[in-house]
Amino acid sequence: MRIFIVIFFYFFLLHLTSAKTLIIDSASKITNDQVFNLNNGMKIIAFHLEGHTKNNLGYYGQSKCNGIREMQDDKLLKLNVFCEIIFQDGSKIWSKSERSGELNQAGVGRSIFIDASSKLKSLIGTECIYAVNKVLNSDFFKAKCKISEEIFNKLKIQ
């Protein structure tokens, strides 16, 4: 039993030391495309975002996102956003972000990479925690994603 515990902690610590954090920063302009005001006080807002992004792997790019915001009495019930990011080398990645809660102007949620061009395929399925803050008609977004040191080093632009 002791040998099992020692082996478990060895691999657990090895995993911790081999993990890296992918950090993503973005800023986007918000366009409300359509607003549905329901009789029950609920509001459905379809919106579009266009902006720029960078990460600590050395990638810079442009982002386009489409989303749906469900509101009740000016409180956020649910948010779903799908984004496409095109980087300086032509590679692409797509993500889905979600959050819910009472805050509309700022909040924390989860994002996942759902598809990618061949170079970035190793990121598919990676989950991230993000924070967003709305200022005027812009979103400022920061995400942190745990990835393996191997993937981090493979994707990093030298």
What's the predicted TM-score (pTM) here?
0.82
The answer to whether the CB of 77 falls within 8 A of the CB of 91 is no
Query: Is 14 a member of any domain?
Result: no
Query: Is 110 a member of any domain?
Result: yes
Domain with residue 41: its CATH number is: 2.40.160.20
For 80, the domain range is: 20-155
Q: Give CA torsion, residues 135, 54, 145, 91, to 10 deg.
A: 130
10-residue mean pLDDT profile of the chain (158 residues): values are 42 56 96 91 94 96 95 88 96 93 75 95 96 88 96 91
The answer to whether the CB of 21 falls within 8 A of the CB of 151 is no
pLDDT value at residue 74? 77
pLDDT value at residue 135? 87
Number of structural domains the chain divides into = 1
Query: Is 4 a member of any domain?
Result: no
